Structure 1
């Protein structure tokens, strides 16, 4: 959440937790709050990330959301679940309620 704006909402068992981050299924993320960012990043074990700016409550927060559209197969095996395209938010900028 940012202020009172809910960015994503899903059942507890629908989200994936990896390295202290909560990844939300793409269909649970409000479509109008994400704006693609050109920021590049590649995780050594998950693969290439796609960053997003969050636009909500009259605020633009740069690069506070990210996803891995094409996870490495080894990442899926490591986590035990395919979370390709799931969106995580930076908990230092966005309030995460589990």
Structure 2
């Protein structure tokens, strides 16, 4: 699967390596281009997943604040609920298209 913004691929991995949580595809950290993500100071803590890290996605001069996110250290109960360790996996907001 790929996550793209326009013609730029931001992340790419086999579907079996992704994790689906609440309708969002989470990509393994190693499959995401780190050069297009900048940590955002926006705070958020999910009641069951834990503290979230948002990212600004920058492609071809276009900056989309808080359009990517991950849970660097999810709650153990969240990992148990999902059935897989999703530490550091990255998901994207709707402007970034995720497709097969």
> 4+ runs of 1 displaced by more than 6 Å?
none
Q: TM-score, normalised by structure 1?
A: 0.96
Alpha-carbon RMSD: 0.7
1:75 alignment partner in structure 2: 78
Matches of 2:21 and 2:57 in 1, distance apart? 21
Higher strand share: 2
Verify: 1:97 aligned to 2:99, yes or no.
yes
Matches of 2:30 and 2:43 in 1, distance apart? 24
Matches of 1:2 and 1:70 in 2, distance apart? 27
Q: Is there any run of 5+ residues in structure 1 with no aligned partner, and where?
A: none
Q: TM-score, normalised by structure 2?
A: 0.94
